[in-house]
Amino acid sequence: MDTVGGLAAVGRHAETGAALVMWAVTVLRLPGVLRRPEHRPLWLAVAAAAVAYSFDLSLVAESCAAIAGAWTRLIGDLFGLLAATAILRFSATVAGARRLIPALWVLMSAAAVVLVALDVLVLPHGAGAEIYDDRGLSGGAVYLVVLAGAHLAAGSCCALLCWTHGRRDARGALRVSLLTFGAGAVLLCLGWIADLLYFLTRFRPLHELSPLLVGLGGAGYAVATQVPFADRLARATRKLRALWRLSPLWSRLVSAVPEVTMAPSTSRAGGWAYFAGEPGLGVHRMLVESQDALLALRGYVSARAVAAAAAVAAGTANPRVSQTACWLRVALRAERSGDPPGVVHMKPAVHALSGDLADEVAFFTALARTIDARAAVEFENRWEEPVLSDCAA
């Protein structure tokens, strides 16, 4: 009995957690759904599932029973069918199997009609009435078979569609989302199978295992809906981190050449805060401004300095970065001392943007580390420009 009681407690917690997560998703996604109609099918599926799961919570069930009385069970089951229908409809749409949707509506509508008829005409509605108390081929048995059969049909189709499309065609966050959806559908199917087996065997642990499986399945659905959001959040976080890694060098460069930046502040924190509002665009803008500053600062050093920097950097792990760091320190010193720049002709001496964001971030991040390395500092200390007229010649 301890095992049975433990399963029951865990099952109740799982259902409560699934309901709370689904309601949170429903509320948080509402503004986006109002702006983007294409997200409404998924939102409707999660909202219907949140309502259906809420009917399994004792507090909600008691409150609804005080209002709806004997109809509470039927209302909760109909919302469950609506949720299963909406989830399968969404899965079919994503998997490119929209031809299944009309048959789905016919099947689920027929199941709903049968459930309503059985509840109105056959099932007991007295206090504590429970369809699991029925024995044999009775109204309760038919009700349970129809309800479980509809959920098993919808859940198995959803799992098949999600796993087939997710493993074969989808990539990235969509793949993870579909596979998680499919796993949730399998868990829900197992919960309904446990209910049917309990009805046949009266093995009590099966009855207590069902809420746990159903709760975990609902949590799977809720998590699946948030995978794309989590992916976007992770990408935004990576871009914010890239901004922060780029910002020290950017601040140093645009402080020397302020005309290349649009930011109101050239400090590291000020620049990061300015570009962080749109991190993707901000990373690109910071790279472009850093490149423009490099081009402007190149005019402060001669071809001899660039060649000497190349010789110093030849034996390093990243010669291009090391060379740039050496001559850039000389250029920054010349700019601070007030020397006028020359005309830039030496394109090979300036790193050119490749168009690959990851490569550009890696280059400028490495440059930010290397510019204060010992070799670059020693190069600056040793180098003396012979004549300014030779700059960039």
Summarize pLDDT for 204-256 with one digit per residue, the tens. 888 788 888 888 888 888 888 778 777 788 888 888 888 999 999 999 999 98
**Domain-ending residue, one of 205, 235, 265:** 235
Same domain, 288 and 369: yes
Number of domains in the chain: 2
Same domain, 301 and 199: no
Evaluate whether residue 45 is within a structural domain.
yes
pLDDT tier at 150, thresholds 50, 70, 90: very high
Evaluate whether residue 288 is within a structural domain.
yes
**Domain-ending residue, one of 235, 267, 294:** 235
pTM for the full predicted model: 0.67
- The more confidently predicted of residues 55 and 322 is 322
- The more confidently predicted of residues 33 and 195 is 195
Read off the pLDDT of each residue in 22-43 and give the average, rounded to a whole number.
Answer: 80
For residues 49 and 85, give the distance between their C-alpha atoms in angstroms, rounded to a whole number: 10
- Residue 120: give the domain boundaries: 2-235
Q: Is the pLDDT of residue 354 over 60?
A: no
Same domain, 194 and 310: no
Same domain, 26 and 114: yes
* Token code pair at residue 74: 């039927």
Same domain, 331 and 229: no
Chain-wide mean pLDDT for the chain?
81
Quick count: other Cβ atoms within 10 Å of Cβ 265? 14
Per-residue pLDDT at 131: 58
Read off the pLDDT of each residue in 165-179 and give the average, rounded to a whole number.
Answer: 80
Evaluate whether residue 116 is within a structural domain.
yes
Q: Is the pLDDT of residue 1 over 60?
A: no
3-state secondary structure of 391: strand
In the chain, the percentage of residues whose pLDDT exceeds 90 is 10
Evaluate whether residue 44 is within a structural domain.
yes
Q: Is the pLDDT of residue 296 over 80?
A: yes
Evaluate whether residue 245 is within a structural domain.
no
For residues 95 and 74, give the distance between their C-alpha atoms in angstroms, rounded to a whole number: 31
Same domain, 289 and 354: yes
Same domain, 196 and 65: yes
Same domain, 182 and 320: no
**Domain-ending residue, one of 202, 235, 268:** 235
Evaluate whether residue 267 is within a structural domain.
yes
Evaluate whether residue 244 is within a structural domain.
no
Per-residue pLDDT at 112: 92
pLDDT tier at 4, thresholds 50, 70, 90: low
Same domain, 41 and 138: yes
Same domain, 128 and 31: yes
CB 18 within 8 A of CB 215: yes
Per-residue pLDDT at 391: 42
**Of 212, 221, 223, 224, which is closest to residue 15 (Cα–Cα)?**
212
Evaluate whether residue 251 is within a structural domain.
no
Same domain, 193 and 280: no
Q: What stretches of the chain show up as alpha helix (H) in DSSP?
A: 2-35, 40-54, 58-68, 72-94, 101-121, 139-168, 172-201, 204-256, 268-275, 279-298, 303-313, 319-337, 357-370, 374-382
* CATH number, residue 123: 1.20.1070
CB 54 within 8 A of CB 121: no
Rounded to 10°, the helix 204-256/40-54 angle is: 140
Same domain, 139 and 172: yes
